[in-house]
Structure 1
Amino acid sequence: MMMNGGGATEIENLRVGVDVGGTKIEAVLTDAAGAILASGRRTARKGGNEVVEDVAAIVRQVAGMRFGDVRSVGIGIPGLVHRDTGQVENVVNLGIEKLELGGRASGVLGLPVWVDNDVNAAALGAYGTLPERLRQGRMAFVNLGTGLAAGFVRAGLVERGDTGALGEIGHLPVDSNRVACKCGQRGCLETACSGGALRRMWPMADPPLPDILAKAAGGDAEAGRVLGILLHALADVVQIVAQGEDPSVIVIGGGVSRVGSPLLDALRGELRRRESSSGFIAGLRLTERLRLADPSIPIGALGASLIAC
């Protein structure tokens, strides 16, 4: 706490953001301006009771002695999220069919708790890390994690659509390889362009993408084939996002993107090949819109803190 000149106590407006994933939970303590003051991580456990316990524990961990100054908590989590109630459904990797996460976490912590989809939270976190000059228009965030999805932010606000399905690009059945998807369709982009897809196509390394890139650069035909599938699908994603939503910036994030510049360079190469045969695609200036999320910043947790009112 801080003391003002008159000696009265001024309560700091601190918030905690929590990013709940299938294998880990990250959290940050932020100030009113969104600056990260502290961060923490713990292993995720399956089950609704366990998730509530782990969220409460990591909130207290990152807040430490300043817990009394925390005004609210935001949580980003996969699955179907009912933002008005804080209920989440079908969090498959954590074994949750239905959980009153917001209400239960609020009851344990004694604080207001806001819950949103994890990709929306990460999109808001990515937006917050952009230079001011890039925050003037709409930003698209493409999350290359275990699955594939996108989030959209304009003027600091997440765009959601009418039903909450905005950004579910991973289940557009347009990939020519026609691989069966867990959603029941075939040819979903997620089956060619995600961490799960890469592990299926390249099970000999974990994480697979660095090994694929290195071997493809060395002339390995199979690595080149797998990389070609990934890049074709990822370029399709960029086109779909650009032509459907027309954002000024497209940020690539998620676990797969942590390989960094080699992925971005390869993607730009694929897009340039498309530009060379299409004046229309060249006019979209797609390569100029692309950015990588900063892997040193826990954007999921940061964005979760920003959804907390």
Structure 2
Amino acid sequence: MSAPRIGVDIGGTKVDAVVLGDDDALLARHRMAVTRGAEGVIASACEAVAQVTADAGIQVTDAAGVGIGIPGAVRGGVVEHALNLDVERLALADVLRERWRVPVTVENDVNVAALGAWHLLGDGPSSVAYLNVGTGLAAGLILDGRLWRGGRGAAGEIGHISIDPAGPVGADGLPGGLETYASGSGMVQQWGHEGAAAVDVLAAARAGDARAQEIRAGLMHGVATAVRVLVLTLDVDRVMLGGGLTGLRYELLDGARRVIRGWEAASPFLGSLDMGARIVLAPHGEPIAAIGAAKLEVDRG
């Protein structure tokens, strides 16, 4: 029997913690609200791990290690610029390693979600992109069975790719970025109604508002374009759609595939790539990022 592994997904509003046992069996899961700020993040992680290990009937010191996914730039266990958590810089791995006395690995949240997606897809695909379509837009990448971060940790930041130089200026100050079209924050920015959320834009689109319908069409086109970028540059076997906007489920999946079919009808080369068939939705309700965090630095098979 191998030692259990603990995974923690720290997001802007919640902490999701799991304990994995033999054959990656889910022994326990605990979700709770996160407290912002450096001390709040540390306290939230400790509380979540204390509860999930109690539920699994183990001590944290029984674990082979703890993996943590968190927003922001992560290098050497140090988190920087996790703005939605009010964390500017935090040596999270060192702090938690000292408290728990077990190995602690910290990674960007989209990267651990990619790792979780790869494991959930089983032994078929060797290369997977997890496309997070939420408040922002970014991809986590597994290439030939390895998490790919890039030379400076920016691999998968495709939200900054401009697809229309005459398009709306995004939060990064550049016009027509993918994130402006295919993210909740970008949709709200285009909508321009103070205090609105992405769900309000989508509700207005369903009610027949022409501008909201245009923004929704831009969402489908943006997601399809993100898939096209990932397939043409990396030829990944699968692109798993995750994040808050995948609450649309098959409306989003079918909309992106419809755009892709239009491209394929015009281009035999694109038609030969079968891009639409490579897209899958993240399993609803699965703790994908927490599972990926638990599997950090562990090779499958």
- The corresponding residue for 1:277 is 266
Q: 2:16 aligns with which of 20, 26, 29?
A: 26
- The corresponding residue for 1:4 is none
Structure 2 SS opposite 1:33: helix
- The corresponding residue for 1:95 is 86
State the Cα distance separating 1:212 from its structure 2 match. Answer: 5.6
Structure 2 SS opposite 1:26: strand
Cα deviations by residue, 1:263-305 (Å, 9 ceiling, x for unpaired): 1011111111122222222122111111111122110111000
1:148 aligns with 2:140: no
Inter-partner Cα distance in structure 1 for 2:127 and 2:70: 23
- The corresponding residue for 1:162 is 151
Cα deviations by residue, 1:114-165 (Å, 9 ceiling, x for unpaired): 00111110000011111433x2x31111111211111111343211222211
- The corresponding residue for 2:95 is 104
Structure 2 SS opposite 1:49: helix
How many matched pairs?
292
Structure 1 SS opposite 2:24: coil
Structure-1-length-normalised TM-score: 0.88
1:225 aligns with 2:218: no
* Amino acid corresponding to residue 35 of structure 1 in structure 2: A
Inter-partner Cα distance in structure 1 for 2:190 and 2:204: 10
Inter-partner Cα distance in structure 2 for 1:177 and 1:300: 35
Q: 1:295 aligns with which of 265, 284, 287?
A: 284
Quickly say closer, same or farther: Cα 1:212–1:274, change in 2 above 3 A.
Answer: farther
Q: How does 1:41-56 map to 2 (within 5 A)?
A: 41-56=31-46
Q: How does 1:107-186 map to 2 (within 5 A)?
A: 107-133=98-124, 135=125, 137-176=126-165, 178-186=167-175
Structure 2 SS opposite 1:164: coil
Cα deviations by residue, 1:95-129 (Å, 9 ceiling, x for unpaired): 11110000001112222110011111000001111
Structure 1 SS opposite 2:131: strand
Structure 1 SS opposite 2:290: helix
Cα deviations by residue, 1:193-242 (Å, 9 ceiling, x for unpaired): 11212333455566347536634xxx542332111111121121111111
- What is the CA RMSD across the aligned residues, in angstroms? 2.0
Structure-2-length-normalised TM-score: 0.90
- The corresponding residue for 1:79 is 72
- Larger Rg belongs to: 1
Q: How does 1:252-263 map to 2 (within 5 A)?
A: 252-263=241-252
Inter-partner Cα distance in structure 2 for 1:60 and 1:175: 48
Inter-partner Cα distance in structure 1 for 2:37 and 2:176: 31
Quickly say closer, same or farther: Cα 1:207–1:38, change in 2 above 3 A.
Answer: farther
State the Cα distance separating 1:174 from its structure 2 match. Answer: 2.3
Quickly say closer, same or farther: Cα 1:69–1:47, change in 2 above 3 A.
Answer: same
1:244 aligns with 2:233: yes
Inter-partner Cα distance in structure 2 for 1:264 and 1:253: 11
Task: Give the percent of matched residue pairs that are identical in Structure 1 and Structure 2.
Answer: 37
Inter-partner Cα distance in structure 2 for 1:213 and 1:186: 23
**Structure 2 unaligned residues grouped into runs of 5+:** none
Equivalent residues of 1:205, 1:211 under 8 A apart: no
1:265 aligns with 2:291: no
Equivalent residues of 1:17, 1:29 under 8 A apart: yes
**Structure 1 unaligned residues grouped into runs of 5+:** 1-9
Quickly say closer, same or farther: Cα 1:210–1:40, change in 2 above 3 A.
Answer: farther
Q: 1:38 aligns with which of 13, 17, 28?
A: 28
1:207 aligns with 2:199: yes
* Amino acid corresponding to residue 241 of structure 2 in structure 1: I
Inter-partner Cα distance in structure 2 for 1:205 and 1:48: 27
Q: How does 1:184-195 map to 2 (within 5 A)?
A: 184-195=173-184
Cα deviations by residue, 1:72-95 (Å, 9 ceiling, x for unpaired): 10000111101xx31110000111
Tell which deviates more after alignment, 250-259 or 150-159. 150-159
Equivalent residues of 2:127, 2:145 under 8 A apart: no
- The corresponding residue for 2:51 is 61
